[in-house]
Every structure is written in structure tokens, then in C-alpha cells.
Amino acid sequence: MGILVDKTTKVLVQGITGKEGSFHTQRMLEYGTNIVAGVTPYKGGQNFQNIPVFNTVSEAVKKIGPIDASVIFVPPTLAAQSIIEACLNGIKLIVVITEGIPQHDMLKVHYYLRKYGCKMVGPNCPGLATAGQSKIGIIPNSVLEPGIVGLVSRSGTISYEILKLLKDSGLGQSSVVGLGGDPLIGLRFKDVLEMFLEDEQTQAVVMVGEIGGSDEEDAAPVVSKLIKKNKPVIAFIAGRNAPEGKRMGHAGAIIMGKSGKPEYKIQKLQEAGAIVVDTINVIPKTILQELSKINVGK
């Protein structure tokens, strides 16, 4: 059982007929994700890989019945509306892949998420997966392998690389969540770490942070809880050499004045008991060492 999804989770794809949407729907189906419907306005009535396409989310829910999760592949100017549409139609988990959504649009989105109690992952993220069961988003299928490590990350490519290292080392992964590189995101480190705390399959956690914002240090109390529960936390922070005031690709990766500096994040995570690594290639080895210490302790 994964922390957010499993093989029974019914998934809707918004923007299913677009270039990105259709490509990744194909990959998700190959992984075994239970995709039940797609939405593209005014393309209703078509089928994509035997998946029915509807004009609106409301139409999809009427025909298919309740839907658990939606994944958004809609261009940035329209994406906020699509998220709100999913939210108003009772979908409780919304995964937003789109990059470049204006922040003022996201302020509106967050108002509706609060009001209707919906969870959002992203935007500007690779999505999430429960290894061996279901994948929602664009994480390459080839790097996923069921196992014991939970991964939560603000960076797509680095997480793919770590997933591969975990797969090759035989540790594998329990659940994976890509939080997204934007300033205003849905689930944050602390939310996902809380889920790993309760998840039986997860025996160790890797968190990949980066400069900007305060989500890493805000998660420090949950890191302490994980350590107390004998679940080691390995952390990595990207952007240690980034200059102040410059946006490093991700809209959220920017140091402004005192806020968002890597030294502070690293210090707070270390104080909470996380092992902060300088390079990612040592992550599997570090996890194995920590797990063996715990076993000796038992």
C-alpha cells in the first residue's frame, strides 16, 4: 500500500490529447496506472488507447463515477482553471505537471484547495508513484523498483537519478513524490514525511531539497520523528553555490535576502538528525550503513 496511490486509484488525465498528455498517458498505462478517463475540451467522444475522452471533468465524473486523482497536462495559462475544475468535481488528489503557471493564478487555486480539502502535488513537478503499483506523472518507468526507501524531492532529474541508484543497489523504493520547483506548491516536505512516518513499507527516507523558501527547515520536526521511529533520513540540498537574487531555473529556486539559503537548511536538517550528503552517489551506501546500525541496536 502506497502513501497516496495504489493500483486501484482511479486516475483522470486532463489534457489527454495534447503532445505531453498523450505521450505520458501511454507511459502511465504501461506502468499499470488505472487511468479511467481523459478530458480535453471539445474533443469529447473520442477514445485514446481505449480511454474515453470527455469535454469536461463534470461529464467524466457523471459517466465514470467518482474519480480519485487527476493529473494535469494543460498549458500554463489554462492550468489553474483545470485544477479548480477538478477540485469542484470532487477529485481529492490533483497532480500538476505544468510548468510556468502564474503565481497569482495559484493563489486562487490554493483558496479552492483549502475550501474543498483537496491535496495538490506540484505544479512544475514530475508527479508521484507507488513503485510496482501506480505512477501518476512523468517519472521514467525504468527507474522505479518496489522496495523500502521513500523519496520526496523538489527536483525532477535528480530524483530520477537517485531512484536509479536505489534500484541498482537493490534497496528499491516504496513511494516517490516530486513536490515541484515552483514557489507556491501543494504538498510540502513536512506533509509527505508525515506520510512516510506512518507507512510500513518505508524503512528509510531520502529528501532532495534546494535553495529558496523554507520548506526544508519547516520539515525538521518531522525528520526528528522519523529518526525516533528508526527510519533514517538522508538529505541532499542542491544549489549551494547559487548567487543571491538569481532564479536558478526553477521559479522557486531563488535566494532572497536571508531567506532560502542552503547553509541554514542543512544546519536545521542536521540538528534534527538527518544525514546531509554532498554527492548523491553515496546515498544507497549511507542508507545501508544507517539501517545496519539500527539492526545492531535492536
Partner 1 sequence: MNLYEYQGKKLFQKYGIPTTQGIVINKDQENDYIYLQELMQGLSFPVVLKAQVKVGGRGKAGGIKIAKNNEEFMKYTKQIFSMEIKGVKVNKILIDQYVEIEKEFYMSFIIDRTSSKTVFIFSPVGGVDIEEVAEKQPEKISKKYLDELDLFDFQIREAILSVYNENLDHAKKIESVALKLYKLYKENHCILAEINPLIISKNEVLALDSKIITDDNAFYYIDDELEEDEERSVLEEEAKKQGLAYVELNGNIGIIGNGAGLVMYTIDLVNLYGGKAANFLDIGGGARADKVKQSVQLVLKNPNVKGLFINIFGGITRCDEVANGIIEAYEEKRYDVPLVVRLQGTNYEEGKRILEKLKEKINFELTESAEKGAEMIVSFVRNRE
- Return all residues near 85 (Cβ < 8 A) that are at least 6 apart: 14, 56, 57, 58
> In the stretch 63-82, what mask flags binding to partner 1 with x, by CB under 8 A?
-------------xx-----
* Nearest to partner 1 of 50, 279 (CB atom): 279
Least separation in angstroms between residue 89's CB and partner 1 is 19
> In the stretch 25-64, what mask flags binding to partner 1 with x, by CB under 8 A?
----------------------------------------
**Exposed / middle / buried, residue 27 (Cβ in 10 Å: 0-12, 13-18, 19+):** middle
Q: Looking only at residues 134 through 163 of this chain, which bind partner 1 when binding is defined by CB under 8 A?
A: 138-140, 142-143, 153-161
Residue 211 lies near partner 1 (rule: CB under 8 A): yes
Stretch that binds partner 1, among 54-62, 67-75, 177-185, 289-297 (CB under 8 A): 177-185
**Exposed / middle / buried, residue 63 (Cβ in 10 Å: 0-12, 13-18, 19+):** exposed
CB 64 within 8 A of CB 37: yes
Which residue's entry shows cell 542552503? 262
Least separation in angstroms between residue 283's CB and partner 1 is 12
Least separation in angstroms between residue 275's CB and partner 1 is 17
**C-alpha distances in Å from residue 194, one per residue of 84, 115, 131, 133, 282:** 26, 22, 19, 21, 25
DSSP letter at 243 equals P
Catalytic one of 24, 104, 110, 250: 250
Q: For residue 11, what is its C-alpha cell?
A: 486516475
* Nearest to partner 1 of 257, 297 (CB atom): 257
24 is catalytic: no
Within 10 angstroms of residue 8's Cβ, the number of other Cβ atoms is: 9
Within 10 angstroms of residue 104's Cβ, the number of other Cβ atoms is: 9
Q: Looking only at residues 247 through 276 of this chain, which bind partner 1 when binding is defined by CB under 8 A?
A: 247-253, 257-258
Please give the residue ranges that form the binding site for partner 1 (CB under 8 A). Answer: 76-77, 100-104, 106-108, 110-111, 114, 138-140, 142-143, 153-161, 164, 181, 183-184, 208, 210-211, 213-215, 218, 238-243, 245-253, 257-258, 278-281
